[in-house]
């Protein structure tokens, strides 16, 4: 008599001898979770009328492996021995009840460790308590704790401090405070999770523009920050710091290789569009290295316009060339501010004099950073409000002091007043083009023209000092922006792609800057470049994105009868053949340039307009999505090193990974 085990094995062999049909495999696949796929190498067994009695078996697939029966979870990669005569079912049952991939268990998990609690909110006006209820999820509390540790830059051992533990016991008695080791593990887990989300986000990007900046810590370690800028499918501008790392040196080749390695790591080396950097010579070398990379991986315009110079940095150089003529009065004000700030007693004396002088200002004195003219402007603008107070202080004076170390005199304050007025326009201009949460590419040409106009006006000033300043600044201006070839051409096209500007504003701007004859020629060059760029995009995207109108055309041809129908049909066939060629596709750019904005569109910003009207311009909207994402300054990357209030102490600034 054969044993039950032998009968089971025989039956099992018969089942595995007949592979499942494609229809059966498709039906079996339909029972799985959306992200779960059948393993191609496995011999699956599927009985629609399964002999398994327990409810949890419906969450498993059975398959043969080395002549033995196994079960695979439909929601995760877990597998179990499943021969009913040889193996128990405890592991299978336990996993079915705990697998977090199973939607039923997810619902159970949502209700786990939840508790409805009463809460009381005090109404500020009446002082009464408002009673309500809410659900406390301990998992959410733990996630919030991890978020707090990261965002507030707290040490992991913060969770073990008695004050924090006392607070948690009062606020949420049911919450079990994890140890510092567990918190460190949770932070790392969150890091990897966010890292994968960012990687998936980059996959959906069309192209990416980056900004980068380098910095040396007090430990003499060189660091680099790399920030990606792109417009997502919802026409929202995104900014992600995706690299902060030590580098071997500040040399251009080292920077270029570090950027290339980062782009390859994230899988976006073939999506690089532009690199915005300051005017350090090492960055020229780095951009040359990246140009060779993008020509190898594929790029727009053969990488000729990859390098974008930071406009804020150029303005910094231009302004310093002008204000160095007023070095004496600036130094005198700086020394006066330094005198007050160096002693707490002097600060109290200063505040007392401010009150007695009835100066209604909440501003406070601030030092400047000698290499940042905008901070010098803020220092002068603030000090000017308290000019009467400085005269009441016992500032250092004497014959042994240098001329620029003496206290400010009335003539100095008059010069500072004019200087603040002179610099205000450049300060506001710098703020406008230094944003990273809104589009700046379409503002570049207009801001440059605005600066040129300011310099022209100051050049006509009756004050010879400010006239000399304007002349010196115009020389520096011409060095960087005096000709079309000295600027990245994408800046011109970005203004053209602003629906509120288009080609008319580009031409008027260039005419004002360079005169009617040269301005018109430059405008034609910009238009020609825009068309060649559009043609390049058309070749990349026309096949997959231009809507196919052939069906409608065929319907018209079939229904057209009568005299002249053959001629009409031939015309339509010729038009159909033009589809996908430059003669057909370039009309999209012409249509955009000739279209007028409606009243409701006048108030929309560029991204909102393209988000709503992009479907009308199939190729052009891809071009706009890349160009409008270009940042005009490196402030986004610089902020990683210079954000106010985030000072790295000697210990923390020495990390090297």
pLDDT in tens, 472-499: 888 888 888 877 778 899 999 999 999 9
Residue 154 lies in a domain: no
Residue found under tokens 């970005």? 494
Q: What is the mean pLDDT of residues 167-195?
A: 89
Residue 56 lies in a domain: yes
* Last residue within a domain, chosen from 48, 78, 106: 106
The pLDDT of residue 385 is: 87
Q: What's the CA gap between 170 and 81, in Å, rounded? A: 48
- 234 shares a domain with 278: yes
Strands (E), 87-166: 114-122, 129-137
Strands (E), 98-186: 114-122, 129-137
- 390 shares a domain with 292: no
Residue 166 lies in a domain: no
| 27-36, 130-139, 151-160: range with highest mean pLDDT | 151-160
Residue 248 lies in a domain: yes
The pLDDT of residue 120 is: 52
Is residue 461's pLDDT more than 90? no
Q: In 386-488, which residue ranges form alpha helices assigned H by DSSP?
A: 387-390, 410-433, 444-459, 464-481
Phi, psi of 217, rounded to the nearest 5 degrees: -80, 170
Residue 556 lies in a domain: no
Is residue 411's pLDDT more than 60? yes
The pLDDT of residue 135 is: 64
Confidence of residue 133 (pLDDT cuts 50, 70, 90): low
Confidence of residue 648 (pLDDT cuts 50, 70, 90): very low
Residue 604 lies in a domain: yes
Residue 194 lies in a domain: no
The pLDDT of residue 641 is: 56
Could you tell me which residue, 641 or 425, shows the higher pLDDT? 425
Check if the beta carbon of residue 199 is closer than 8 Å to that of residue 267: yes
**Ranges 126-130, 267-271, 389-393: which has the least confidence:** 126-130
- 354 shares a domain with 304: no
Is residue 77's pLDDT more than 60? yes
Q: Can you give the residue range of the structural domain that contains 80?
A: 36-106
* Last residue within a domain, chosen from 434, 466, 496: 434
- 419 shares a domain with 374: yes
- 300 shares a domain with 330: no
* Last residue within a domain, chosen from 50, 73, 106: 106
- 376 shares a domain with 278: no
- 524 shares a domain with 491: yes
Domain count, the chain: 4
Q: What's the CA gap between 64 and 256, in Å, rounded? A: 53
Angle between helices 620-627 and 489-496 (to 10 degrees): 120
Residue 14 lies in a domain: no
Strand partners, 308: 276
Is residue 244's pLDDT more than 60? yes
* CATH number where 239 lies: 3.30.420
- 339 shares a domain with 280: no
**Structure-token pair, residue 239:** 């900014």
Confidence of residue 614 (pLDDT cuts 50, 70, 90): confident
- 342 shares a domain with 242: no
Q: What's the CA gap between 345 and 131, in Å, rounded? A: 50
- 266 shares a domain with 357: no
Confidence of residue 575 (pLDDT cuts 50, 70, 90): low
Is residue 651's pLDDT more than 50? no
Q: What is the mean pLDDT of residues 190-207?
A: 89
Q: What is the mean pLDDT of residues 419-445?
A: 85
The pLDDT of residue 26 is: 78
- 490 shares a domain with 621: yes
Q: What is the mean pLDDT of residues 565-593?
A: 66
**Ranges 69-78, 185-194, 625-634: which has the least confidence:** 69-78
- 330 shares a domain with 297: no
């Amino acid at each position: 008599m054969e044993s039950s085990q032998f009968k089971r094995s025989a039956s099992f062999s018969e089942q595995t001898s007949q592979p499942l049909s494609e229809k059966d495999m498709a039906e079996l696949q339909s029972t799985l979770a959306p992200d779960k796929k059948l393993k191609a190498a496995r011999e699956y067994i599927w009985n629609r009328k399964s002999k398994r009695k327990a409810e949890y078996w419906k969450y498993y697939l059975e398959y043969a492996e080395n002549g033995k029966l196994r079960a695979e979870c439909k929601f995760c990669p877990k597998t179990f021995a499943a021969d009913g005569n040889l193996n128990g079912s405890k592991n299978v049952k336990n996993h079915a009840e705990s697998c977090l991939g199973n939607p039923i268990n997810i619902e159970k998990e949502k209700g786990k460790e939840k508790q409805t609690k009463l809460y009381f909110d005090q109404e500020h006006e009446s002082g009464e308590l408002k009673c309500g209820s809410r659900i406390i999820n301990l998992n959410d509390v733990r996630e919030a704790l991890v978020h707090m540790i990261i965002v507030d830059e707290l040490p992991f051992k913060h969770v073990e401090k008695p004050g924090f533990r006392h607070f948690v016991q009062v606020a949420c008695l049911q919450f079990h405070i994890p140890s510092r080791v567990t918190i460190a593990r949770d932070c790392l887990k969150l890091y990897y999770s966010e890292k994968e989300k960012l990687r998936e986000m980059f996959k959906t990007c069309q192209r990416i523009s980056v900004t980068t900046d380098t910095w040396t810590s007090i430990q003499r370690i060189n660091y680099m920050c790399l920030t990606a800028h792109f417009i997502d499918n919802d026409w929202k501008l995104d900014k992600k710091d995706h690299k902060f790392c030590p580098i071997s040196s500040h040399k251009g080749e080292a920077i270029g290789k570090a950027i290339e390695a980062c782009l390859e790591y994230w899988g976006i080396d073939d999506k690089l569009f532009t690199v915005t950097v300051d005017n350090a010579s090492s960055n020229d070398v780095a951009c040359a290295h990246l140009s060779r990379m993008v020509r190898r991986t594929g790029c727009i315009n053969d990488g000729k316009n990859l390098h974008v110079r930071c406009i804020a940095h150029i303005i910094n150089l231009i302004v310093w060339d002008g204000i160095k003529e007023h070095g004496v009065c600036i130094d005198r004000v700086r020394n006066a501010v330094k005198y007050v700030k160096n002693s707490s007693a002097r600060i109290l004396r200063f505040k007392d004099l401010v009150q007695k002088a009835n100066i209604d200002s909440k501003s406070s004195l601030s030092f400047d950073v000698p290499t940042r003219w905008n901070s010098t402007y803020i220092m002068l603008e603030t000090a000017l409000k308290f000019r009467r107070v400085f005269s009441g202080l016992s500032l250092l004076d004497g014959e042994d002091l240098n001329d620029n170390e003496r206290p400010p005199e009335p003539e100095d304050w008059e010069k500072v007043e004019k200087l603040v007025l002179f610099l205000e326009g450049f300060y506001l201009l710098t703020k406008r083009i230094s944003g990273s949460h809104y589009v700046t590419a379409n503002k570049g040409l207009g801001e440059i023209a605005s600066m040129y106009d300011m310099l022209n006006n100051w050049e006509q000033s009756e004050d010879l000092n400010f006239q000399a300043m304007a002349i010196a600044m115009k020389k520096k201006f011409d060095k960087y922006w005096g000709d079309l070839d000295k600027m990245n051409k994408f800046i011109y096209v970005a203004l053209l792609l602003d629906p509120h500007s288009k080609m008319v504003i580009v031409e008027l701007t260039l005419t004002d800057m360079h005169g009617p004859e040269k301005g018109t020629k430059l405008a034609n060059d910009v238009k020609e470049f825009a068309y060649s760029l559009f043609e390049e995009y058309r070749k990349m995207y026309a096949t997959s994105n231009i809507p196919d109108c052939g069906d409608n055309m065929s319907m018209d041809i079939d229904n057209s009868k009568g005299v002249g129908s053959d001629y009409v049909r031939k015309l339509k066939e010729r038009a159909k053949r033009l589809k996908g060629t430059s003669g057909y596709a370039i009309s999209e750019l012409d249509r955009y340039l000739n279209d007028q904005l409606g009243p409701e569109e006048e108030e929309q910003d560029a991204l909102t307009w393209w988000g709503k009207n992009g479907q009308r311009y199939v190729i052009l909207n891809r071009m706009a999505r890349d160009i409008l994402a270009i940042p005009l300054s490196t402030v986004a990357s610089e902020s990683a090193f210079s954000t106010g209030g985030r000072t790295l102490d000697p210990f923390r600034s020495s990390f090297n990974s």
